Amino acid sequence: MPDLLSSTFRLSEQSKELPLFTLLQDAFANSADYKAIPFGMRDSGDWFICYLQSLCSSQKLIYSLEGIDEQNLLVQLGQYYGTNPTEGDFQSCMEAICHGSAILCKHASSTGIIVNISEVQQRAVSTPITENVLQGPMNAFIENLDTNVALIRQQIRSSQLKMWETVIGSASHTRVALFYYEGAMNALLLSHLQEKLKQINITGLRDINQLLKLLSSKKRMHLFPLGISTERPDHAATDLLKGKAVIMVDGSPFALSLPSVYTDFWHSPEDDYMNPYVAYFLLSLRFIAMFLNLFLPALYVALTSINVDVNRLEISLAASASREAVPYPVFIETILMLIVIDLITEAGLRLPKTISSTVTMVGGVVLGQAIIQAHIVSHLLVIIVATTAISNYIVIDYQMGLVQRILKYFIVIGASIAGLLGIVFCFSCLIIYLSCLESFGAPYLTSLLPKKRTKPS
């Protein structure tokens, strides 16, 4: 870089531009953490180092360079690991300051030297928080993209693991990385995702699920999630080897796996570490829990209010005895109990962890006992709603669990209108909707077929 110094410190009087120092002062005028510290060098005039104190490392800052000639400045800066000094104009210098770099410039120069002295604020790699690990690696993604890239590459140590990177957000300038395993992923799907990422125009990008909404079709909203978000590197590595794409956003501790079909949301990473027979047994339990969660309250409404003649006489008498003093119709008491259970669930999620378990347990037991003693709902309905709530917790993916909680209300409404026929109608509509749904070119029910197709639509 022999000519870097001479080209960097061209005096602005020779041009019509304002000095870089003045432009930076105006750009960061109301920023309390912006610093412009002067320092002197022999026969060099007024020098300044400009930076944001909140983003820079104090251990890397050089406040005084006494006795160093300008010709040796870059050599001196290059001795510090990670500085990588480069020349920049006002726009590049302003963006560099926002990313944690410092600018070395003279008072009247039109360009400056960009020195990378950023200090990334991040938490240490720990165990997953939203996904319980029973078997397998215990580390989880964090909010730093470079660390997450290392975690993925530690899982797949192959040159076929490729990473394509772009920047999204006119204000946030968020780094977005697209991972794929060369030879396993469909080339059309890869180009389709890259093109969609290039076309995103947004002010700021903060989370991976926000990116999923931007990647999805804007013409119609989908109730079911089209991608799986995970904070486990082993889960992301498994999807990469299966030919899927994994997208990560700098600042988000989750990875997005695309495309994702319906049955993918019911598989756990632990299934790959277990005996196949045990894995199939657990998978069967999850699907049984799914049907209980969706149809058990609706069956109670249908069999106790409309299709009473379908039950055995003993069951009908027991249901009637439990509802003897209940003043509300079956549909009203069922909806009421479902709402109460959802309120308790949300309270357990939003409250601090130190008191959430206590509040939900006391609220569920005390409130349930009080409702029964007040004859607002029947004993049988309390058992059914509790079973429904427990079955909803078996869902592996949180987003799919939210969808299950919504769907059971529509099926209950169908059962209150047409009984068992209404349940069958709602189930048929659900199957038709899932058959028409696609996740980035892959049919949502693809995994039920012997051959998968992953071409972009």
Q: What is the pLDDT of residues 397-418, one digit of tens each?
A: 888 888 999 999 999 999 999 8
pLDDT score for 126 = 84
pLDDT score for 58 = 64
- Sequence-distant (6+) residues with CB within 8 A of 310 are 303, 420
Across-strand partners of 178?
A: 164, 247
**99 pLDDT more than 90:** no
Q: What is the 3-state secondary structure (H, E, C) of 27-87?
A: HCCCCCCEEEEEEECCCCCEEEEEEECCCECCCCCCCCCCCCCHHHHHHHHHCCCCCCCEE
Find how far residue 43's CA is from the centre of its chain.
54
* Residue 89: band (very low, low, confident or very high) from pLDDT cuts 50, 70, 90: confident
Two tokens at 61? 């800052």
* Residue 66: band (very low, low, confident or very high) from pLDDT cuts 50, 70, 90: very low
Domain segments of the chain: what residues? 4-116, 145-258, 279-448
Does this model's pTM top 0.85? My answer is no
Nearest alpha carbon to residue 440 among 243, 249, 303, 289? 243
CB 113 within 8 A of CB 77: yes
* Distance separating alpha carbons of residues 182 and 454, to the nearest angstrom: 15
Across-strand partners of 164?
A: 178
**6 pLDDT more than 70:** no
Region 16-26 average pLDDT: 82
**67 pLDDT more than 70:** no
| 11 φ/ψ sector (left φ>0, alpha ψ -120 to 50, else beta) | beta
CB 27 within 8 A of CB 92: no
Listed range (53-67, 119-133, 291-305) with the worst mean pLDDT = 53-67
CB 148 within 8 A of CB 246: no
* Distance separating alpha carbons of residues 63 and 49, to the nearest angstrom: 8
Mean pLDDT of the chain, nearest integer: 81
